[in-house]
Chains A and B, each alone.
Chain A
Amino acid sequence: MTTESADVVIIGGGIIGMATAYYLAKLGSDVVVVEKGEIAGGTSSKCDGNILAIDKEPGFDSQMSLESQKLVTQLVAELDEEFEYRAPGSILVCESDEEMEAAQTWVNRQKEAGLPFRMLDRGEIRSEWKHMAGDIHGGLECATDSTVNPVLFTYSLAVTAQRLGARLKTHTWVTGIRLDESGAVAGVETSNGLIRTKHVVNAAGVWSKPIAQMVGIEIPVEPRKGHILVSSRTESIGTRKVMEFSYLMSKFGKERKVDRLTEQYGVALVFEPTASQNFLIGSSREFVGFDMKINVEVIRCIARRAIRFFPVMKDIPVLRSYCGLRPWTPDHLPIVSPVEEVPGFYIAAGHEGDGISLAAITGKVMSECIMGQETTISIEPLHYKRFQKEDGKK
């Protein structure tokens, strides 16, 4: 057991923790990251890799994504390792006229918020996607959406943060958070000893709730399980991300016109081609606690949904499947805020499926917040207190 000290201790070595570590180290802060397993060993390696605005609620949510996209463009030049960054844009496709109307409303609202969205007609979809089912009505595009390899991105942030002086402690878990007489943060107790510090960032993702409880704070972050299929190497079906429009319905918990299992497992098409000649297929959403077992029924359901949009996939072998737990919050926005009751305690968690998308902006504003600088975007809508107010109303 040893005792050391740091300006800031970050709990969690996933994409959010590493982005925060990088931006803090860049500002000259002395940072220690405490991770119970490996870097990117949790949700950050069991996801797909997108920096999307297309699926964000128009307004604050989508503008935050746009800011994140701009930061990632800078990170391509700043970070020490390459992470398969591309910015080909992404699209949503519609199955009915009804969805096309809803898509038009979505596009109009995003444009008003200043984002590069536009509608795509049936012909445009057909000419770009030769293998797409013939009955697709059209869709919409967000031109700036980009894609990364999430594991490489996390590692790239980690190695660059390390070069800037950050210390990474893997296979080290937090056993307690030490407060001084005034109730402010004084240190982090770990399986490998005490780290004295005045600032702690809870970036523990799906495990952020028990970490917050260590200082008596309740946050409504719950694990939401998602499955992903990986195809074998195959001839290209497309070069950018495509999702079905009703993915938005699934994401925001609205009613959809789909069969019982598709509804029950929250299955919606997400297609993501990779640089390794294969593609990832999602998605599903389930609240089943911390159960990480692959559910074959969900896999079949995702495969059926994918074949509905890309009939050619019927003959493409699936290489493997995996699932991850996404840190869900009730309003689909992350918590990025200081905790006033416990001076020195900060939360950067609850990004659900937007962790890769929002990591850069989250890390940036978290570093600014801790260093007492003005934040790049307002983080007021992301304050953890919004959930306490709701509880008060009830």
Chain B
Amino acid sequence: MNKKYCMVIDSSVCIDCKACMVSCKVQHKVPRGYWRNWIKHSTPDFSLGKHTSMHFQPGGCMQCDNPTCVYACPSGATYKDEETGIIHVNEDLCIGCGNCVKACPYHARYRHPVKRVPDKCDFCRERLHMGLLPACVDTCPTKARTFGDRNDPDSEVSRLLKENETVRIVSRPVDTEPNMFYISSTMPMDWPGQVEYPAAHQAMTGFVNPLVKIAVGLSGLGVAAMFLKQLFTDDETSQDKEKEEV
């Protein structure tokens, strides 16, 4: 059976110690100035006197079931792995357009300054293969983050989801159907931004899309034919031609 990995977060025990952020940064060699995960916080209301409090909220890519980043990707590099539910970036396919970065209302992606491709949380795929928990989950002092398979009824996350009322942080107007569940009364809730698709992408949506796809497909065939023609053209003649061009 396919897995559906998710995180259940009890933000009421988060102490904002940054352990998850450093652990993640080390695990994935995330460059200075960039993060794959975060801790947000509420604004304290000091008029409450002795009951003034603050709430810290750990987060990261929500591995959405309605993933705007996947829809925004023109090359198929960003995809949702149906075996795990994790959203990955295939760097070999990425054209570096940056559409996915803008399309994520959680700002969970950044463009890697050296590789020029988007980077994001993938629930520590390599660690999962080794039988380890994601770096942020493993290191968390108060165990605010719990990771596991929602499809397994005996998993810790399934138990937590059963026993607790949970909320999901969604952007408006798009419900991204995130796989990050917060045990209720988490704060803040209103921070996700807009889902921004590039203008061209918006025009492509709807009925124009299939037509354009066919057109692109045809032109693709044309390009392929050109390639083949060039490949089978005699090398020397082409060199002469180049000289002429120079």
Q: Say whether A associates with B.
A: no
List the interface of chain A (C-beta within 8 A of B). Answer: none
